[in-house]
Amino acid sequence: MKFLRTITLAFKNIRTNKLRSSLTMLGLIIGISSVIILVGIGTGTSRDITSKVSSLGTNILTVSVNTDKALKLDDMNKIAQLPGVELAAPFINVNATVSKGTTTAGMVSVVGIDENYLGIRNYTLSTGRSISFIDVDNKSKVCVIGTEVSQSLFNNTNPVGQILKIAGDNYTVIGLLQAQGSSMGTNADSTVLLPITTAKYISGSSDIKTLFIKANNESSVNFAKLATENYLRTTLDASSDNMRVTTQQSMLDTMQSIQNTLILLLAGIASISLIVGGIGVMNVMLVSVTERTKEIGVRKSLGAKRSDILVQFLIEALVLCLFGGTLGILAGIGLGTAANAFGYTFAYSLNVVALAFGFAVLVGLVFGIFPAYRASCLNPIDALRQD
Amino acid sequence: MISMKEVSKTYLMGDTEVKALDKVNFSVEKGEFVAIVGPSGSGKSTLMNMLGCLDVPDSGEYFLDGIDINNSSDRELARIRNHKIGFVFQNFNLLSKLNALENVEVPLMYKGMSAKQSRKLAYEYLEKVGLKDREKHTPKELSGGQQQRVAIARALACNPQIILADEPTGALDQKTGQEIIAMLKELNQNGQTIILITHDTHIAQQVNRQVNIIDGQISDEPRWNH
Ligand SMILES: Nc1ncnc2c1ncn2[C@@H]1O[C@H](COP(=O)(O)OP(=O)(O)OP(=O)(O)O)[C@@H](O)[C@H]1O
Ligand SMILES: [Mg+2]
């Protein structure tokens, strides 16, 4: 009962000093909400990237070489025969403009691929058909386009069967990719896919520098990696300097560790503002103790024990922090959700909210205990004599 | 009930020692109404604070209700102040944020009484001092005399063995002061032990025992039967 009345009293005291209390709470609100926002955006972005990377499949390997000898199309079949490897697909980037009539599609990457590529990258078509080995063999002037390209050139009408111009030549659109979003530096939605033979013709070079490999399953990834590296060493004289075989898992791991560091850093920065908020609480509580020395003396003369006074001031600090903390959490979630509208990915977990709340309580305890202790130690007669 | 032997208290003011209490022997029996008189700075308040366990003597013995105060812990002293002593101060010392009823409830809360019970009891005491219609008023909204009556209700709330009143009429006009004294006298007639500090010899003469204190030394007057 005493406890309940102490809380009521704490609210009373906080209310009598409205401005002071709100300013103190503002410090906490800023601290707590920035923890939630920064960590939320950090984890949101991280989760976003992770889900995109893992949607590619954890049994995918990316190979890039920069050797004097180049990979040829024939090598694809040989690599596909390697132990642990299921499929291998080449990938070459071509510099070319894509247009239709007078409209030019901006920021489009034109890419040469073969019939295995879509399967490896888990791309699906919304209409039409994919590039087949016949297209590759025949150097057909056909293409599969992403949604953004389709939108800018065909205005939401079905692009399949229509003609567009790539590097001055006419190409028939045979398929439309489903919207994928961007991942690993390539945005499938703004891509135009051509048979690799046709792409080579446009670019004038037959070098294949990048390829995607699909391992039989997740457990054979490392095996496939070793076999591929070995193959590249023997056929291209490649060394670890000019060859890189990356597994999705290693990529994920690297990214995750970078992101974790980043989140930790953000949380650290936000925590500093929380500590500053805590110091504000301590300051206000110290002032409050000084102002209320007489009250403490009167209470002691009426039989308040040290612990009674300690608890009274501690609860006041706690109420301040809990109040500020709750508002901070609400502000954090509110602003974070608003940030979503501006293209950030904000994710809050109950864990972070609980942690922030716990932190608010901790701040209240840590920064409230000293003033409260000081109040409790006042000699009743000295306290009473104060005006 | 109260027994002090050779109690001394010295304050250091710069280099000079002030003997606020000098080997004071003092005892009070149950049911007495004692007035302590003496010039300003003679040590009356010091004695009162000592009696009320707000302060501890430098030397000497103090027994209250058989308890050795010198050897009591902080916690025990707080309990004694709560259970056995009721203070009435010159400047009332009510808590300004609380209303009259809540002020009377404070010592009951520290006693550990439930909210419901303490509310009821506090109300009874307010009624006793004639302020039942002022329960919701804060100290600011009460006259000096009314505030002192709330303070008396608060002092009585825990049913203390002894009431210590340090110049309770000092901040009041003659008439209101006399009302407060009358109230204390009535309490005494019902068996309440009271120690009263006053400058007013007229008031001191109305009670059954007067104690003079000069320069920290006590000279007991013969008992005055009223
Ligand atoms: N905290 C203190 N520090 C130093 N000296 C003190 C302190 N408290 C009291 N004194 C000194 O002790 C002496 C007695 O003080 P006390 O307050 O007991 O006097 P009093 O009889 O109550 O006076 P008054 O009638 O004016 O209230 C005084 O000389 C005072 O200066
Ligand atoms: Mg005095």
Indicate whether A139 belongs to any domain: yes
Burial class (CB in 10 A: 0-12, 13-18, 19+), A297: buried
Token representation of residue A368: 């409230």
Cα distances from A76 to residues A84, A87, A114, A308, in angstroms, run: 14, 8, 10, 80
| Residues A164, A287 within the same domain | no
Q: Do A305 and B110 touch (CB under 8 A)?
A: yes
Q: Which residue type sits at A177?
A: L
Q: Are B207 and B196 in contact (CB under 8 A)?
A: yes
The 3-state DSSP class for residue A30 equals helix
Please give the Cα distance from A175 to A160 (Å, whole number): 6
Residue in B49, B55, B110 nearest the CB of A303 = B110
Collect all residues of chain A within an 8 Å Cβ-Cβ radius of residue B82. 302-304
Q: Do B81 and A303 touch (CB under 8 A)?
A: yes
Please give the Cα distance from B30 to B65 (Å, whole number): 10
Instruction: Set out the domains of chain B in order of their start, with CATH numbers.
Output: 2-92+160-219 (3.40.50.300)
- pLDDT per position as a tens digit, B31-74: 999 999 999 999 999 999 999 999 989 999 999 999 999 999 99
What is the pLDDT, as a whole number, of residue B226? Answer: 44
| Residues A217, A332 within the same domain | no
Q: Are A143 and A225 in contact (CB under 8 A)?
A: no
Strands (E), B96-222: 162-166, 193-197, 209-214, 217-220
**B51 C-alpha vs ligand 1 centroid, how far in Å?**
15
Please give the Cα distance from A228 to B175 (Å, whole number): 108
Strands of the sheet containing B16-28, edge to edge, are B16-28, B2-13, B59-64, B67-68
Number of domains, chain A: 2
Token representation of residue B71: 């050897």
Q: At what angle do helices A350-377 and A18-55 cross, to 10 degrees?
A: 150
| Residues A35, A103 within the same domain | no
- Asked whether the whole model's pTM tops 0.80, one would answer no
Q: Do A305 and B75 touch (CB under 8 A)?
A: yes
Q: Give the gap in angstroms from C-alpha B74 to the nearest C-alpha of chain A.
A: 8
**B208 C-alpha vs ligand 2 centroid, how far in Å?**
21
Indicate whether A57 belongs to any domain: no
Q: Domain limits at A348?
A: 2-51+254-385
Strands of the sheet containing B162-166, edge to edge, are B85-88, B162-166, B193-197, B33-37, B209-214, B217-220
Collect all residues of chain A within an 8 Å Cβ-Cβ radius of residue B52. 301
B/e letters for B158-171, b = 16+ CB within 10 Å, e = fewer, are bebbbbbbbbbbeb
Q: At what angle do helices A248-291 and A293-301 cross, to 10 degrees?
A: 70
Collect all residues of chain A within an 8 Å Cβ-Cβ radius of residue B94. 298
Beta bridge partners of A193: A111, A144
- pLDDT per position as a tens digit, B119-163: 999 999 999 999 989 999 999 999 999 999 999 999 999 999 999
**A292 C-alpha vs ligand 1 centroid, how far in Å?**
23
Examine the fold and report which residue of A179, A208, A241 is the final residue of a domain before the chain moves on. A241
Token representation of residue A299: 């209470």
Q: Give the gap in angstroms from C-alpha B94 to the nearest C-alpha of chain A.
A: 8
Q: Which residue type sits at B38?
A: G
The residue to which tokens 């000093």 are assigned: A17
Strands (E), chain B: 2-13, 16-28, 33-37, 59-64, 67-68, 85-88, 162-166, 193-197, 209-214, 217-220
| Residues A113, A235 within the same domain | yes
Indicate whether A281 belongs to any domain: yes
Instruction: Give phi and psi for A320, each to the nearest 5.
Output: -60, -45
The one-digit pLDDT tens for each residue of chain A (387 residues) are 577 888 888 888 888 888 989 988 898 898 888 888 888 888 888 887 777 777 667 788 888 888 888 888 888 888 988 988 998 999 998 888 898 888 888 788 899 999 989 888 888 899 999 999 999 999 999 999 999 899 889 887 899 999 999 988 999 999 999 987 765 556 788 899 999 999 988 888 778 889 899 888 878 888 898 999 999 998 888 888 888 888 877 777 888 888 888 888 888 887 888 888 888 888 988 999 999 999 999 999 999 999 999 999 999 999 989 889 999 999 999 998 888 888 788 888 788 888 888 888 888 888 899 999 999 999 899 898 887
- Strand-pair category, A60-65 with A186-187: unpaired
The residue to which tokens 């009891």 are assigned: B121
C-beta B46 within 6 A of ligand 1: yes
Q: For residue A27, which of A220, A244, A260, A273 has the smallest C-alpha distance?
A: A273
Q: At what angle do helices B100-111 and B74-84 cross, to 10 degrees?
A: 130
| Residues A263, A361 within the same domain | yes
Please give the Cα distance from A118 to B111 (Å, whole number): 80
Token representation of residue A252: 């994920």
Q: ∠ at Cα B171 (B165, B174), nearest 5°?
A: 95
- pLDDT per position as a tens digit, B3-37: 999 999 999 888 888 899 999 999 999 999 999 99
| Residues A211, A333 within the same domain | no
Indicate whether A259 belongs to any domain: yes
Indicate whether A61 belongs to any domain: no
| Residues A90, A199 within the same domain | yes
Indicate whether A246 belongs to any domain: no
Rg (CA), chain B: 17
Please give the Cα distance from A367 to A282 (Å, whole number): 5
**B109 C-alpha vs ligand 2 centroid, how far in Å?**
28
Count of all residues that appear for chain A in the document? 387
Q: Are B59 and B212 in contact (CB under 8 A)?
A: no
- Nearest ligand to the CA atom of B20: 1
Q: For residue A376, which of A319, A280, A312, A301 has the smallest C-alpha distance?
A: A312
| Residues A192, A126 within the same domain | yes
DSSP H or E stretch at residue B74: helix B74-84
Please give the Cα distance from A118 to A209 (Å, whole number): 18
Inform me whether the pLDDT recorded for B118 exceeds 90. yes
Cα distances from B1 to residues B4, B27, B204, in angstroms, run: 10, 7, 21
Q: Are A71 and A207 in contact (CB under 8 A)?
A: yes
Indicate whether A248 belongs to any domain: no
C-beta B96 within 6 A of ligand 1: no
Examine the fold and report which residue of A241, A273, A288 is the final residue of a domain before the chain moves on. A241
What is the pLDDT, as a whole number, of residue A184? Answer: 53
| Residues A222, A153 within the same domain | yes
The residue to which tokens 């490649």 are assigned: A238
Q: Give the gap in angstroms from C-alpha B226 to the nearest C-alpha of chain A.
A: 31
Q: For residue B94, which of B137, B53, B52 has the smallest C-alpha distance?
A: B137
C-beta B44 within 6 A of ligand 1: yes
What is the pLDDT, as a whole number, of residue A146? Answer: 92
Q: Which residues contact residue A315 at a Cβ distance below 8 angstroms, ignoring those fewer than 6 apart? A: A3, A6, A7, A10
Please give the Cα distance from B199 to B208 (Å, whole number): 16
If you ran DSSP here, which 8-state letter would residue A130 be given?
Answer: -
| Residues A79, A211 within the same domain | yes
What is the pLDDT, as a whole number, of residue A179? Answer: 86
Given the cut 0.85, state whether the ipTM is greater than it: yes
Examine the fold and report which residue of A241, A269, A302 is the final residue of a domain before the chain moves on. A241
Q: Give the gap in angstroms from C-alpha A277 to the nearest C-alpha of chain B.
A: 27
| Residues A372, A260 within the same domain | yes
Q: Can you tell me the mean pLDDT for B104-108?
A: 95
If you ran DSSP here, which 8-state letter would residue B179 be given?
Answer: H
Q: Name the pLDDT band for B225 (thresholds 50, 70, 90).
A: very low
Burial class (CB in 10 A: 0-12, 13-18, 19+), B189: exposed
- Closest CA to ligand 1's atom 7: B11
Q: Do A2 and B79 touch (CB under 8 A)?
A: no
C-beta B18 within 6 A of ligand 1: yes
Residue in A5, A294, A301 nearest the CB of B54 = A301
Collect all residues of chain B within an 8 Å Cβ-Cβ radius of residue A309. none
What is the pLDDT, as a whole number, of residue B74? Answer: 92
Collect all residues of chain A within an 8 Å Cβ-Cβ radius of residue B103. none
Q: Residues of B at the A interface (Cβ-Cβ below 8 Å)?
A: 49, 52, 54-55, 74-75, 78-79, 81-83, 87, 89, 93-95, 97, 106-107, 109-112, 114-115, 154, 158
C-beta B11 within 6 A of ligand 1: yes
Indicate whether A60 belongs to any domain: no
Q: Within chain A, where are the H helices?
A: 2-16, 18-55, 73-81, 117-120, 133-138, 147-154, 196-203, 221-236, 248-291, 293-301, 306-341, 350-377, 380-385
| Residues A272, A170 within the same domain | no
The 3-state DSSP class for residue B73 equals coil
